[in-house]
């Protein structure tokens, strides 16, 4: 079925060549780099359960990349990566490949500069409308505050998120949908998250997860507990864990989320690029 497909699947068992290309294209390469690293970790934990592949036209990395991954049967992500503006081969491959599961309607991550031609492909595929969410991505550049000693107020404690907490997380998550609680449980199981809990009754007050792309996500604090510094505690905890694991700490923040923007900038993160998340 795929013998003559214009997109060739790369062997990620030894991805040093792709790793080097992404490192040479830093910091733009951080998103796909961490996406691949995270999915390889998942494969070690739960082999053959979460499909993931990276393709490129003619098997040549510099022609551009398409990455596709599933968390479960309800949620899939895809990503486009370009190294330069010579994108004709990538456009042709995406338009004509049989490997891309368009009918599953994955959420696409597209570099801002590639949005116009990708939107044209959606039109050609028969998807006449779509939603796009402009999202700057931030990379931890100054590690001093993250690496400093972390202390909690006397009335709360910090802990890894528990599976039973995910119902609460999902109920308050502004992007929840039918089946999203299972998705969040899968993310917690395959990665991890941190929460701030009340010492009085173990109530979960604030939390964040290491997301599917290997970034920080689902950062939330209950309304009645905001402005107490809890979000900073969980961000510092998850960032420190990622640094200890040798990962590149980054986060996507939807434009207009001023509180998150201020928090991450204060912790040593800097904007390094822009991506559009596309749903159709």
Q: Kindly give the confidence (pLDDT) of every residue in the chain, 280 residues in length, as a single tens digit, with 9 standing for 90 and above.
A: 677 999 999 998 889 999 999 999 999 999 999 999 999 999 999 999 999 999 999 999 999 999 999 988 877 899 999 998 889 999 999 999 999 989 888 999 999 999 999 999 999 999 988 999 999 999 999 999 999 999 999 999 999 999 999 999 999 999 999 999 999 999 999 999 999 999 999 999 999 999 999 999 999 999 999 999 999 999 999 999 999 999 999 999 999 999 999 999 999 999 999 999 999 9
- List the structure tokens of 135: 């999202």
For 149, the 3-state DSSP assignment is coil
| Predicted local confidence at residue 85, as pLDDT | 81
Is 144-274 a domain of CATH 1.10.10.10? no
Enter the pTM of the model: 0.93
For 29, the 3-state DSSP assignment is coil
Domain segments of the chain: what residues? Answer: 7-129, 144-274
Cβ neighbours of 76 (radius 10 Å): 20
**Residue among 30, 16, 36, 88 nearest 58 (CA):** 88
| Predicted local confidence at residue 1, as pLDDT | 60
In contact, 37 and 44? CB cutoff 8 Å: no
Cβ neighbours of 144 (radius 10 Å): 8
Nearest-angstrom CA–CA distance, 47 and 266? 39
| Predicted local confidence at residue 256, as pLDDT | 92
- List the structure tokens of 202: 């173990």
Nearest-angstrom CA–CA distance, 208 and 18? 30
* Eight-class DSSP state of 199: T
Strands of 65-72's sheet, edge to edge? 7-9, 52-57, 65-72, 75-81, 107-111, 269-279, 131-140, 250-252, 216-221, 204-210, 193-198, 156-160
């Amino acid at each position: 079925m795929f013998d003559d497909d214009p997109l060739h699947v790369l062997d990620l068992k030894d991805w040093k060549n792709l790793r080097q290309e992404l490192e040479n294209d830093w910091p733009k390469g951080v998103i796909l780099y961490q996406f691949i690293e995270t999915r390889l970790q998942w494969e070690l934990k739960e082999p053959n359960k979460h499909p993931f592949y990276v393709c490129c036209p003619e098997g040549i990395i510099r022609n551009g990349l398409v990455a596709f991954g599933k968390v479960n049967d309800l949620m899939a992500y895809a990503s486009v990566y370009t190294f330069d503006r010579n994108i004709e081969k990538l456009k042709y491959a995406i338009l004509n490949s049989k490997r891309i599961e368009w009918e599953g309607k994955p959420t696409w991550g597209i570099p801002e500069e590639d949005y116009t031609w990708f939107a044209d492909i959606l039109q050609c595929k028969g998807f006449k409308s779509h939603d796009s969410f402009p999202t700057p991505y931030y990379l931890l550049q100054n590690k001093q505050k993250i690496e400093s000693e972390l202390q909690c107020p006397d009335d709360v404690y910090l802990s890894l998120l528990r599976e039973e907490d995910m119902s609460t997380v999902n109920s308050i998550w502004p992007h929840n949908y039918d089946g999203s609680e299972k998705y969040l449980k899968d993310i917690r199981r395959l990665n991890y998250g941190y929460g701030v809990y009340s010492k009085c009754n173990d109530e979960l007050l604030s939390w964040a997860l290491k997301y599917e792309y290997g970034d920080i996500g689902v950062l939330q604090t209950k309304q009645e507990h905001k402005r107490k510094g809890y979000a900073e505690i969980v961000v510092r905890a998850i960032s420190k864990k990622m640094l200890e694991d040798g990962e590149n700490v980054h986060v996507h923040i939807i434009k207009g989320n001023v509180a998150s923007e201020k928090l991450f900038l204060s912790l040593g993160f800097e904007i390094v690029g822009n991506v559009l998340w596309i749903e159709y």
